[in-house]
């Protein structure tokens, strides 16, 4: 089924307004007065047109935890947030550690997905951290896995990490590391510092993240294989990445929206909505993360969308699950933290939320410019809007957003997946 849309007066990546014609799944024309017989006209005056966003780090929870999220509900949330592709983390039940499970997730994405779903494979069997999973079989499967991660847990064994890097090198794969030295973070509840002492919660030292990143950038360089660092959260991690990149090491990194906006002070409420892995850090860390994203030391924004059912979050701090939802609020949070502060323009946002994530994940058909002939994976965004986040309005199956009650700028007006509207007037189609 072919749909034709004329986006009238849109600003591609914030440039001067023009008309964009979407036809047969592609950007057919850019410029004034395109011939648009039969097109659905969308008034895009004042709206920024971005390449469809790409998330390197989404927990879709299926198979196994469909009470939290499914491929269908998670990708509806993604489309409402402006995403046209998400990479699904393998910490499902069972873990996505075989060709069979990654193919299952891939097919669920094709069947029910409101955006493209690219499964990430586990690095070790059952994410157990002791035996390498069938990386080659997952790469050769219909899912064509290129990114592997034990996310939720760190690949802490240096020998195993080295072997994984060596293995994926053959097919241009990448290991996405959840950098958390497990012995240094046993029982950890929040960022280690003065506040953790005051609150009586066990501290989660920055060095537990930084030590693993330091080790792994050295291993990646030694092996000559790509490592990607998930959810970087400390100023020290930024310094190590900056050093590694200055030497040309094969490392990329991501930061979450929540680590760009929120600080550990929120934990003083003991509200588990703010319990997350890695933990919220200090204002200085937030400043360092923003600067690093602005100068490209950190390549990408990734949501770490981690839906949890109410009973796992609305309980006492120690018992609560770690994680926050993020797909529906990511772009507004990035606008507030990065654009409204003058640190990034819309070209920069497109680069960090679409172009580079697509390149890191080796996702073809995503992360291109808004240009004639490109696949029409597009997001139409109103930066002048503002809204109060109401968890009840979320289309995710879970409600654990840390931004509830906050006023955020900007709203996604429309999302197009290969020319088909998945969102129009802010509503899933």
Of the listed 55, 97, 304, 351, which one is catalytic? Answer: 304
Q: Of the two residues 10 and 206, which places its CB atom closer to Zn ion in the complex?
A: 206
Residue for token digits 């499964």? 119
Tell me if 259 is assigned to a ligand binding site: no
In angstroms, what is the minimal distance from the CB of 180 to Zn ion? 8
CA 150 to CA 135: how far, in whole Å? Answer: 12
In angstroms, what is the minimal distance from the CB of 322 to Zn ion? 9
Tell me if 293 is assigned to a ligand binding site: no
Residues 6+ apart with CB under 8 A from 65: 92, 93
Q: Of the two residues 120 and 413, which places its CB atom closer to Zn ion in the complex?
A: 120
- Residue 180: closest CA among 213, 204, 149, 209: 209
Angle at 336 between CA 57 and CA 369, to 5 degrees: 60
In angstroms, what is the minimal distance from the CB of 357 to Zn ion? 16
For binding to Zn ion (CB under 5 A), which residues are involved? 151, 178, 230
In angstroms, what is the minimal distance from the CB of 391 to Zn ion? 22
For the four alpha carbons of 267, 272, 278 and 280, in that order, the dihedral sign comes to negative
CA 275 to CA 398: how far, in whole Å? Answer: 15
Residue for token digits 């497990």? 182
Tell me if 382 is assigned to a ligand binding site: no
CA 145 to CA 372: how far, in whole Å? Answer: 29
Tell me if 107 is assigned to a ligand binding site: no
- How many Å is the Cα radius of gyration of the chain? 21
In angstroms, what is the minimal distance from the CB of 37 to Zn ion? 49
Q: Closest residue to Zn ion, Cβ-based?
A: 178
In angstroms, what is the minimal distance from the CB of 304 to Zn ion? 6
Residue 172 DSSP label: T
CB-facing half-sphere around the CA of 138: CA atoms within 13 A: 31
- Residue 272: closest CA among 183, 192, 201, 180: 201
In angstroms, what is the minimal distance from the CB of 129 to Zn ion? 14
CA 90 to CA 305: how far, in whole Å? Answer: 13
- Note whether 230 and 176 are within 8 A (CB): yes
- Mark whether 304 is an active-site residue: yes
Q: Of the two residues 150 and 328, which places its CB atom closer to Zn ion in the complex?
A: 150
Spell out a b/e string for 111-134, using b for 16 or more CB atoms within 10 Å of the CB, else e.
Answer: ebbbbbbbbbbbbbeebebeebbb
Tell me if 178 is assigned to a ligand binding site: yes
Tell me if 377 is assigned to a ligand binding site: no
Tell me if 305 is assigned to a ligand binding site: no
CA 86 to CA 79: how far, in whole Å? Answer: 10
Q: Of the two residues 27 and 176, which places its CB atom closer to Zn ion in the complex?
A: 176
Tell me if 151 is assigned to a ligand binding site: yes
Tell me if 277 is assigned to a ligand binding site: yes
Q: Of the two residues 178 and 215, which places its CB atom closer to Zn ion in the complex?
A: 178
Q: Where are the beta strands (DSSP E) in 139-250?
A: 147-148, 174-177, 190-191, 203-204, 226-229
- DSSP assignment of 306-366: ----HHHHSS-GGGSPP-B--TTTHHHHHIIIIITTTS--HHHHHIIIIIHHHHHHT-TTS
The binding site for substrate comprises 59-61, 91, 277, 308
Give the residue numbers annotated as catalytic, written as ranges: 304
Bind-site residues for Zn(2+): 57, 59, 151, 178, 231, 304
């Amino acid at each position: 089924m072919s749909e034709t849309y004329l986006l009238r007066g849109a600003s591609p990546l914030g440039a001067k307004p023009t008309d964009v014609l979407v036809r047969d799944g592609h950007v057919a024309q850019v410029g004034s007065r395109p011939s648009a017989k039969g097109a659905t006209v969308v008034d895009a005056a004042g709206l920024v047109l971005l390449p469809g966003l790409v998330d390197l780090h989404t927990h879709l929870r299926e198979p196994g935890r469909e009470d939290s999220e499914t491929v269908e509900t998670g990708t509806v949330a993604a489309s409402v947030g402006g995403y046209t592709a998400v990479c699904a983390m393998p910490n499902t039940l069972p873990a996505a550690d075989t060709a069979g499970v990654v193919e299952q997730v891939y097919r669920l994405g094709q069947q029910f997905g409101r955006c493209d779903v690219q499964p990430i494979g586990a690095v070790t069997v059952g994410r157990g951290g002791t035996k390498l999973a069938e990386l080659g079989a997952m790469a050769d499967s219909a899912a064509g896995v290129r990114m592997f991660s034990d996310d939720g847990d760190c690949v802490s064994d240096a020998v195993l990490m080295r072997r994984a890097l060596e293995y994926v090198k053959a097919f241009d794969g990448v290991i996405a590391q959840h950098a958390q030295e497990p012995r240094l973070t046993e029982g950890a509840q929040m960022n280690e510092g003065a506040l953790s002492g005051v609150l009586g919660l066990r501290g989660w030292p920055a060095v537990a993240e930084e030590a693993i990143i330091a080790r792994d950038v050295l291993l990646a360089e030694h092996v000559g294989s790509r490592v990607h660092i998930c959810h970087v959260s400390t100023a020290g991690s930024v310094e190590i990445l900056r050093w590694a990149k200055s030497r040309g090491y094969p490392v990329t990194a991501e930061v979450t929206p929540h680590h760009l906006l929120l600080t550990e002070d929120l934990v003083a409420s003991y509200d588990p909505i703010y319990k997350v892995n890695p933990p919220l850090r200090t204002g200085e860390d937030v400043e360092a993360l923003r600067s690093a994203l602005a100068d490209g030391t950190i390549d990408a924004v990734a949501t770490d969308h981690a839906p949890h059912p109410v009973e796992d979050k609305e309980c006492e701090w120690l018992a609560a699950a770690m994680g926050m939802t993020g797909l529906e609020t990511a772009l507004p949070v990035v606008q507030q933290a990065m654009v409204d502060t003058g640190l990034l323009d819309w070209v920069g946002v497109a680069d960090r939320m679409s172009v580079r994530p697509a390149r890191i994940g080796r996702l073809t058909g995503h992360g291109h410019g808004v240009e004639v002939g490109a696949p029409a994976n597009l997001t139409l965004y109103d930066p002048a809007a503002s809204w109060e986040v109401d968890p009840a309005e979320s289309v995710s199956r879970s409600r654990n957003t840390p931004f509830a009650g906050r006023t955020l700028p900007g709203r996604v007006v429309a999302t197009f997946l290969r020319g088909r509207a998945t969102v129009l007037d802010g509503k899933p189609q």
